[in-house]
Amino acid sequence: MKTISENRAFGGMQGVYTHSSEATGCDMTFGLFLPEEAESDPVPLVWYLSGLTCTHENAMVKAGAQKWAAAEGVALIFPDTSPRGEGVANHADYDLGQGAGFYVNATETPWAPHFKMWDYVTDELPRLLFNAFPLDEGRQGITGHSMGGHGALTIAMSFPGRFRSVSAFAPIANPTQSDWGRKQFTAYLGEDETKWAPHDATLLMRKRGFDGPILIDQGASDQFLDLLKPEALAEAMMQRRQNGAFRMQKGYDHSYFFVSTFMEDHIGFHASALYA
Amino acid sequence: MKTISENRAFGGMQGVYTHSSEATGCDMTFGLFLPEEAESDPVPLVWYLSGLTCTHENAMVKAGAQKWAAAEGVALIFPDTSPRGEGVANHADYDLGQGAGFYVNATETPWAPHFKMWDYVTDELPRLLFNAFPLDEGRQGITGHSMGGHGALTIAMSFPGRFRSVSAFAPIANPTQSDWGRKQFTAYLGEDETKWAPHDATLLMRKRGFDGPILIDQGASDQFLDLLKPEALAEAMMQRRQNGAFRMQKGYDHSYFFVSTFMEDHIGFHASALYA
């Protein structure tokens, strides 16, 4: 693992690191914010999974999360959204290929050899992080935006007991019924839709739910609402009597201005669970 | 109008008053809390509509609302839930007849002559209140519990511009699809279901929504969840992109312990809209 940069921020440290990944077969870069408390003891960790086109950097510089993480004493991990590099398959569309890993393990040509973001985010990266940094594996929360909200919700529900809390900003909530989902699942996982189901937050909510609190914010003026399908997940949450809140925020769109507006609430939400 | 009692409370005054109602053809009793600010100027008003079996008194003594209303400088009105008295029809079941007005105007025998709670709450009582007390008609919010949450939501959506905010605790959210609704609508309104539709919050949400913020809390351990149908309203709210939040609160049941726990949030929510 190689240190790209370390910058003092809000009394803690914002680092960027690169490592050679077995899961994706290429170098992967991530951002990690450690609050001041990490200098003496392991701290809780909140995962932030980013959306389409993003690298590790977008949320790290635009979400305004470090201020609240420092105030609450939690670390933040910002992984990349896909494998990258000249030897890695890509596509002309912004929503397929590099920058659009969708947090699945691709099985189809030409994506299979590198597009293993599920394994990377749920297995390889956590092992590396808990080995190398002062982070408390017993206290994790997870959040994300758009495609990253999809990732956060599906991962949280797929590993019961790993995360104490999950939240999402404008998640792709029902991808098996959306062009943000059907296109990518067909490309990465093939045409057998039974293989898509474990990667759909609404279907997972109907099937098993999450054993902790959930907070979801969605902008009412989001230009992608028809692709995000919040109504499907909201119904499934209430039908399951899932502990949580689904908020429709008047006037907000899909941008990081929306994310940063409600970041304080989300970090506070996770901190309440992680320091309970 | 006759004063039954007036008690100093939280720096303001909790009154109980009785008046002869034209709408219901009997005496009606209500509770009104005025904060200290009402001694000098008209104050905003929040309506609290109660649930099955309640009189004006239940919420007035059990919801813990006056403390927060005093802190925010808003008045609270607690109407009764039905006409009452020896000359008024009744039924042996707790969920029909006296204490179960359902906030509709009955058209059917034997309910029609007295069961006009829609007119009472939306027309007669407001006229009386704004005439007799220092209340600002331009700043109203409305909330309620269970059957009263149904009333609050349906009334708020039926009078665009009248209420700046609406909230509900465990509302009967989709009564045309519930035994809490079908039974009463059949009795009060007859078998033509087109006459029921204006009294179903989920159907009104699908049709028109509310031009302001909505806050709904529902207990996840509510013993009446199958009758309340929160999932139908949550889906309709998100489908409409309705400004608002739907919260499922782990471990809470249908009681006033649930209502009083979240009363601070609801009064604060209304105050934000009323003092904006």
Q: Specify whether the CB–CB gap between A76 and A46 falls below 8 A.
A: yes
Please name the residue that has the structure tokens 């004006």: B56
Question: E strand or H helix at A76, and its extent?
Answer: strand A75-78
What CATH number does the domain containing B233 carry?
A: 3.40.50.1820
Query: From the CA of A199, how many Å to the nearest CA of chain B?
Result: 21
**Candidates B174, B238, B265, partner chain A, best to mutate (most A CBs within 10 A):** B238
Partner-chain contact A234 B242, CB within 8 Å: no
pLDDT for res A93:
96
What share of chain B has pLDDT > 70, as a percent? 100
Q: What is the mean pLDDT of chain B?
A: 97
Cis amide bond preceding A83, omega within 30: no
**CA A258 – CA A266 distance, rounded (Å):** 12
Q: Which residues in chain A land under pLDDT 70?
A: none
Q: What is the mean pLDDT of residues B90-101?
A: 97
pLDDT range class, residue B151, cuts 50, 70, 90:
very high
pLDDT tens by residue, A100-158: 999 999 999 999 999 999 999 999 999 999 999 999 999 999 999 999 999 999 999 99
CB contact under 8 A, B235 and A237: no
Q: What is the dihedral angle through the alpha carbons of B116, B120, B123, B129, rounded to the nearest 10 degrees?
A: 170
Please tell me which of the candidates B218, B220, B238 has its beta carbon nearest to residue A248. Answer: B238
Nearest by CB to B235, which of A218, A235, A243? A235
Q: Which residues are B13's β-sheet partners? A: B8, B34
Contact A231 B235 (CB under 8 A): yes
Q: Is B138 helix (H, G, I), strand (E, B) or coil?
A: strand
> Can you tell me the distance from the alpha carbon of B16 to that of B77, in angstroms, rounded to the nearest whole number?
10
Outline where B82-142 has alpha helix (H): 117-119, 125-132
* ipTM of model: 0.81
Token representation of residue A152: 């956060």
pLDDT digits (tens, 9 = 90+) for B123-149: 999 999 999 999 999 999 999 999 999
Helices B256-274 & B65-72 angle (0-180, nearest 10): 10
CB A185 within 8 A of CB A170: no
Predicted pLDDT of residue A260: 92
CB contact under 8 A, B248 and A238: yes
Phi-psi category of residue A73: left, alpha or beta, with phi > 0 → left and psi -120 to 50 → alpha: left
When divided into structural domains, chain A yields a total of 1
Retrieve residue A253's tokens: 């769109």
Q: Which residues of A touch B218 (CB under 8 A)?
A: 238
The predicted structure's pLDDT at residue B276: 86
Using the CB atoms, write b or e for B86-109: b if 16+ within 10 Å: eebbbeeeebbbbbbbbbbbbeee
Q: How far apart are CA B164 and CA B166, in angstroms?
A: 7
Task: Give the gap in angstroms from C-alpha A254 to the nearest C-alpha of chain B.
Answer: 14
Separation between Cα atoms, residue B20 and residue B32, nearest integer Å: 17
Contact B14, B6 (CB under 8 A): yes
**Residue located via tokens 């609450």:** A72
> Does residue B200 have a pLDDT over 90?
yes
* Contact between residue A234 and residue A205 where contact means Cβ atoms under 8 Å apart: no
pTM of the model: 0.89
Q: Which range marks the domain in which residue B22 is found?
A: 2-274
Please judge whether A235 and B232 are an interchain contact, meaning their C-beta atoms are less than 8 angstroms apart. yes
- Identify whether A146 is a catalytic site residue: yes
- Pick from B213, B220, B238: CB nearest A231: B238
Q: How far apart are CA A237 and CA A247, in angstroms?
A: 12
> Among the options A56, A199, A254, A270, which is catalytic?
A254
Q: Among all residues of chain B, which has the CA nearest to that of A226?
A: B239
Mean pLDDT confidence for B34-42? 97
* Contact by Cβ (8 Å): A137, A146: no
Beta partners for A217? A169, A247
- Provide the shortest C-alpha distance from residue B192 to chain A (in Å): 28
pLDDT band at B114 (very low <50, low <70, confident <90, very high): very high
Partner residues linked to A168 by β-bridges: A216
The type of residue at A35 is P
Residue B186 CB burial class (10 angstroms; 0-12, 13-18, ≥19):
middle
Say how many C-beta atoms besides its own lie within 10 A of residue B15's C-beta. 18
For chain A, give me the number of helices (H) and strands (E)?
10, 9
Q: How far apart are CA B181 and CA B233, in angstroms?
A: 15
In the DSSP assignment, the letter for residue B41 is S
